[in-house]
Chains A and B, each alone.
Chain A
């Protein structure tokens, strides 16, 4: 295999520059004292102080964090079941329809998802009186629905990568399917569960369009506050907020990658040891 040419590496470098320059500029100007985002005056952390005085913004951030936490947790539960069905249950009637339902939210325009869920909640309230009004609960339901699709894709592809000989062996030796799932399958797919949880969390905390449709009074999320502030123009406070978000995400992404690599190594080592032990028995 030949190494790619120098011109290809130039394209790659330009691509990374394109992806990162706007973010770097955003971060730099969050430390600018001037209110004009595009004119540099001097280094200052005044906008960070302003940020932590903004009650409305902090309340919205707390709302978003709670929704994202419960969304990610539910999406991993539901996505694990869906992934198991798609990867391990073989054929069943309605499987094509089932997998179409699972993959549709990946590409569905957000305005359609948002509008259709809102109309459902309104119709349900009309017919059943539940959910009463809209708020954090309806946002949670909407977010679980669209993030589960992503989690399912991650978990399904992980399950397909792994051969199921150990699972089969355990079943042959008399373990119940539930026991096999909790003792063998779950630990093996743990890295996929972590990345699925994190992806669902970021998708939920980032969503503006769907939440705008299904939110009610008192459930203003962080993207909704950012959006209304951005519509009024650029503000260094938003730059400061963006910098904090970017910082947290970078840290978590690096930490999660490190953790998953370590879990993977650990698992490989255990498998090898088990093999050695098994051979010694013979």
Chain B
């Protein structure tokens, strides 16, 4: 078919390719370029609230690149702390998702097909219900007079409510809860294709289950581990809803900082600079994910 399409429809082919290509150039690529541009402008009391980079003064065109926003990010320690804290939270919640998700995906992939499909559907179903509502569900559970505290008090384990909501603990819990399906699905897709004969052979030859897991199953599922980890890590670095609703005032995350710069301070240039630096931080993981995803799609 490839061959035929190329021969018979050279112009049609380009036309078809250009439709989604142009859409994504216009609505994905150019917007990033604009963010980059505005990160070099200054906040202004105007509509839109930023200064122009290019101006004509006395018949000369002037290009003013204002590095102030980046210097500001460097000098105010809040931003560095927010970036580092986001990476830390994303890293540990990815690890937690992997530790919980791997045995789940492994067990599901080893059940019989009809049960397997049902179990898989039960993993996907919660992620189809509203993200916001699933985060909201934890507020009622973790509040000071919430269900968990009430339960612990009535069991006599604690005397006074433990502060759980608006802590880092709540943020981790919320992230793992919301992102667990994104870890399990790629792991499952990988594990279900595994040749279990290898494991049988290893055990026939006397390998202990743990040894064959570490030397066969784990390395063979590396592709699933990478996909799942990237699908959790990258969006969590920029997560806004969970730290906003479950975190406390000391839960610094860069997604929340960007939101506040934009909506509360109405400082579009600084918000843009925050976004550019976030993209630079995430560039490497995003490239790994892209290369990996393409390889998966090719095979």
Contacts and interface: CB of A to CB of B under 8 A. Distances in A.
B237 A19 contact: no
B136 interface: yes
B34 A123 contact: yes
A22 to B, nearest CB: 4
Contacts of A26: 133, 136-137, 140
Given A8-B107, A120-B30, A234-B143, A164 B1 contact: yes
Contacts of B289: 103, 106-107
A179 B19 CA distance: 19
Contact of B134 (A23, A90, A250): A23
A119 B107 contact: no
A233 B260 CA distance: 20
A12 B180 CA distance: 13
Interface string A194-238: 000000001001101100110000000001001100110010001
A176 B2 CA distance: 13
Interface in A114-154: 115-117, 119-120, 122-123, 126, 141-142, 144-145, 148, 153
| Chain B contact residues: helix, strand, loop or mixed | helix
B136 A238 contact: yes
B21 interface: yes
B123 interface: yes
Contact of B35 (A16, A20, A119, A246): A119
A116 B39 CA distance: 11
Interface of A: 1-4, 8-9, 11-12, 15-16, 18-20, 22-23, 25-26, 29, 36-38, 78, 81-82, 84-90, 92, 94, 96, 98-112, 115-117, 119-120, 122-123, 126, 141-142, 144-145, 148, 153, 156-157, 160, 164, 167-168, 171, 176-177, 180, 202, 205-206, 208-209, 212-213, 223, 226-227, 230-231, 234, 238-239, 241-242, 245-246, 249-250, 253, 257
B139 interface: yes
Contacts of B16: 81, 84-85, 89
B147 A38 contact: yes
Contact of B235 (A102, A110, A119, A142): A110
Contacts of B231: 106-107
Contact of A117 (B27, B108, B272, B290): B27
Contacts of B293: 99, 103, 106, 153
Given A12-B103, A249-B128, A109 B238 contact: yes
A174 B182 CA distance: 44
12 contacts: A20-B126, A23-B134, A85-B16, A98-B17, A99-B293, A103-B290, A106-B231, A110-B255, A116-B35, A209-B259, A227-B241, A250-B125
Given A119-B31, A249-B128, A81 B20 contact: yes
Q: Which of B8, B103, B128 has the largest number of chain A CB atoms within 10 A?
A: B128
B140 A226 contact: no
